[in-house]
Amino acid sequence: MQIELFIDEYAQIINLPIGEIVYRIFFWYFGWLPIAIVFLYGALQLWIDYIENKWYAKQKFVLLAIDVPRNNEQSPKAVENLFSYLMGIHKNPNLIEQYWEGQFQLGFSFEIVGIDGYVQFLIRTPNNFRSNIETAVYSQYPDAEITEVSDYTTGTPSIFPDPEFDIWGAEYTFVGPEQLPIKCYREFEHNYGAPETVYKDSMANLMDLLSSLRPGEQCWFQLLINPIDNSWVKKTDEFMAGLIPKPPETLMNMPPHKKEQLEAAAIKKSKICFKAKSRVIYFTKKELMNKPKVVNGFNGYMRQFAQNNLNGFMPYKRSITKTDYFLAEYRVNIKKNNLMSAFKSRSSYRGGPTYLMSVEELATLWHFPIDAVIKAPLLQRAAAKKIEAPMTLPSIDSFRDNNQVESIFDKDHVIEENEVKPKERSPRDFVDFLEEEISKGDERIKVSNNEPPTNLPFV
C-alpha cells in the first residue's frame, strides 16, 4: 500500500513574496479557522442559555415572611451567622449537569417591603432550600415566626407607561473595587451615652422611611446573594499585591490610605463572601408619586455605608429610571420595564454586574432592627416569645407501663381514617397574612388612623 502526498503546491509558497505567503496562510488556507471558532463559541453559548432556562423553569420557589418578637436584642452578628450558614448550599455542577442538564447555582433574595407604611422582612428561596432558611433563622431567633406568603409583586404592572401607576427604581453597585469593604455595622458603634444606645442601628433610616409611606405607596428593597467558590481569593491576593510598593523596603512609607485599603482587603478576605446585587423600586399611583422623599431618602440610606478610602454604593447608571436628551421618555420606559421584570424574577444575571460582599457587609444591609435603638410601630412582629412546657408536666406517656418500651420508629404505622393527617404547607395570601399581623400588632400598640392596606398586590 502506497500513500502519495502532493505537496508541490505548498512547496511553491516558499518562492513567493513574503506578503503573498502571509495572505495565503492566514486568509486562503486557514482563514476559515477564526470564523469557525467564533461560530462554535456562539453556538455553545446559545445551547447553555437554552438548557439553563429550561432547567430553571422547573425550579420552584417560596416567599417566606419573617417576624421576630418585640424587644429584639440580637445584634447584626446573628444575621451574619445566618448568612454564613447558607454558604453550605454551594455546589459546583459537573460537566454533565452544567452542559447537558443546564444546572447552575441558585441563590436567595432577602427583601424588605414597605406597603402603606407597614414594613415586612421577607426571604425568597428555592423550595429545596426552605429547610436551610428555617434552620438558619430559628438557630439565631428561636422565637421567630416564618410564614409562607404569596408574592406581593404579582398583579403589579410589568409594562410601562401605565395609565395609573408609575415607578422609580435602580440597582446599586460598588464605587470602588469589590475587594474593598463598605462601612460595616461594627463601625456604627458610638461609645457614649447609655449602654443600649451605643449601637446606632444602620437600619433606622430605612425603617423610618418605609414607615412614613402613605396609603397607596410601596417601596421594595431586594438583596440578591449567590454562593460562590473560593476563586475570588486569588483575585483579592492579586489586588493586595498591587497595593504593596516595590521594593518592599518602602512598605513603611506607604500612604495612609493605601495601608488602610491593604488592611481592609485582608479582613474582608478572611470572611465568607457571596456574589451579591441590590435593587430598589418605588411603586405608587402617579398622583401620589413623591420622589424627593423616597428617592433621596433611600439614596441617603445606601450612602451611609460609604468610606471614601474604601468602598460604598452608588446607583448603577444604566439601570436607574432616569435619562436625558434624545428619546428620553422612550428610553426611560425601557429601563422601567427591564427593572421591573428583573425584580419580579429575582434575577441576579439581568441588569448590572454582581459584586463580592462578605457576610458582615450583607448583615449590615439586611438585619432585623434592634428595638432599643429603632422604634418602628408598623414593623410586623411575632405576637410573643415562645417558652417551652415545664419538664414535670404530666403526659400520656407517663401513664404507660414502666416496663413497656416502645420503639421510636414504628414501621407498621398506618394512618387510620379517623386520624388527623398532616396538612401540606401552602402559601398564605400576602393580604390576609399582613392583615392578621396588623391585628396582632393592634393588641400590642395603638396606632391612630391607620387601616390595613386595601390595594396590596396578591395572587
Identify any residues that bridge with 285 across adjacent strands, giving them in sequence order: 165
Q: Are strands 218-227 and 273-285 parallel, antiparallel or unpaired?
A: antiparallel
Q: Is 425's pLDDT higher than 50?
A: yes
Q: What are the φ/ψ torsions at residue 398 (nearest 5 degrees)?
A: -70, -15
pLDDT digits (tens, 9 = 90+) for 279-303: 999 999 999 999 999 999 999 999 9
CA nearest neighbour of 118 among 204, 216, 200: 216
Distance between CA atoms of residues 98 and 89, nearest Å = 17
Query: Helix or strand or coil: residue 11?
Result: helix
Count of residues in the chain: 459
- What is the rounded average pLDDT of the residues 90-98? 90
Identity (one letter) of the amino acid at 110? F
Residue 155 confidence class, pLDDT cut points 50, 70, 90: confident
Q: What are the φ/ψ torsions at residue 245 (nearest 5 degrees)?
A: -70, 160
Query: What's the whole-number average pLDDT of the chain?
Result: 81
Query: Which class for 133: exposed (0-12), middle (13-18), buried (19 or more C-beta within 10 A)?
Result: buried
pLDDT, residue 419, reads 42
Which segments of 286-405 are extended strands (E)?
313-315, 355-358
Q: 3-state secondary structure string, 14-46?
A: HHCCHHHHHHHHHHHHCCHHHHHHHHHHHHHHH
Q: Is the peptide bond before 69 cis (omega within 30 degrees of 0)?
A: no
Q: What is the pTM of this model?
A: 0.79
What are the angstrom distances between the C-alpha of 321 and each of 77, 156, 170, 237, 331?
Answer: 34, 17, 6, 37, 9
Residue 415 confidence class, pLDDT cut points 50, 70, 90: very low
Q: How does DSSP classify residue 95?
A: H
Query: Helix or strand or coil: residue 214?
Result: coil
Identity (one letter) of the amino acid at 54? K
Q: Residue 340 corresponds to which cell in the numbers above?
A: 421591573
Q: How does DSSP classify residue 421?
A: P
Q: Is 124's pLDDT higher than 90?
A: yes
Q: Is the peptide bond before 247 cis (omega within 30 degrees of 0)?
A: yes
Identify any residues that bridge with 173 across adjacent strands, giving them in sequence order: 314
Alpha carbons within 13 A on the beta-carbon side of 407? 5
